[in-house]
Amino acid sequence: MCINHSNLSNILMITNLSPGITVIVGSCATGKTWLANRLCKTVVPSARVYHTDDYLQYGTDHALFVLSKEIHRERNPYIILEGNLACKFLRLRQLANRRYIIPAILECTAPKEVRLERIVERGKDPNATFNMDAIIYKQMIEYKRAAKLLPEWVVVNTLTL
């Protein structure tokens, strides 16, 4: 399913956003953080947003451990998890048989030219950043293949929102 709407509340209707962990995935510079913040501000104001990039200070694997502990202790029924580690989080939770309720996965997309502009604005190396795309894509595929029951998966073109 692909959303190309300017009204973010359409995401709520299409994904039937409900309590649990709504996961936002996608390649670098596709608008994951922007979408999470907008959803929290306009659609589910009570949601708690976790930005996986904030946990990279612990190293990739330990970041997921720290993040998992925090999410496990979270009392807010609405959680939005976004970032480059979100796919890896999904896959590791799947392997550990954690029974988190994941009502929807939103996959952000944006044209490569737009992403390049965002990457340069952030002062990051475009080649290194684009090389991460293959890793992120592989994690998404692994999760989809192994999922017994796939949550609502919605592709969101963030350029049109």
**What is the residue-level pLDDT of the chain in tens, covering all 161 positions?**
444 444 566 666 555 567 888 899 999 999 999 999 988 887 778 889 999 999 999 998 899 889 988 988 889 988 999 999 998 888 777 656 566 788 888 999 999 999 999 999 999 999 999 999 999 989 888 888 887 777 878 888 887 66
Position 113 scores a pLDDT of 94
Position 33 scores a pLDDT of 95
Residues sharing a CB contact under 8 Å with residue 67, sequence separation 6 or more, in sequence order? 50, 52, 55, 85, 89
Answer CATH for 2-160 from 1.10.4190.10, 3.30.420.40, 1.10.3720.10, 3.40.50.300:
3.40.50.300
Identify residue 42 by its one-letter amino acid code.
T
Sign of torsion over alpha carbons 48, 52, 57, 60: positive
Task: Tokens for 67, please give them.
Answer: 């993040």
What Å distances lie between residue 31 and 82, 89, 100, CA to CA?
Answer: 10, 19, 24
Report the SS3 class of residue 61: helix
